[in-house]
Amino acid sequence: MIIPVRCFTCGKVIGNMWQTYLDLLQAEYSEGDAMDALGLNRYCCRRMVMTHVDLIEKLLNYNTLERAPPQSQAGGPPAPGPPAGGQ
């Protein structure tokens, strides 16, 4: 989802490096060179950045508050209609 703020193993702050890391990759840096440029020398921190999967943009496409109304199923109870008695 969102990159963790700190490395799970050593506690170094890495959350602020994600966008810079992506920018370096766009500038044709290799993964190792980009992490070296960011000062990520420990393999635990490198693992945190290298293996992160950014899913937040995909999840923002789904709004749980905007759901389609339930469809009536064949053989199920009838859909509610106007009240009986003509009023």
What are the structural domains, with CATH classification, of the chain?
Answer: 15-59 (1.10.10.60)
Cross-strand partners of 13: 6
pLDDT band at 67 (very low <50, low <70, confident <90, very high): low
The radius of gyration computed from the CA coordinates of the chain, to the nearest angstrom, equals 25
* CB atoms closer than 10 angstroms to residue 12: 15
Per-residue DSSP letter, 6:
B
What pLDDT shows up at residue 75?
60
Q: Residue 10 in 3-state DSSP?
A: coil
Q: What is the mean pLDDT of residues 72-85?
A: 63
Whole-prediction pTM: 0.63
User: Percent of the chain beyond pLDDT 90?
Assistant: 47
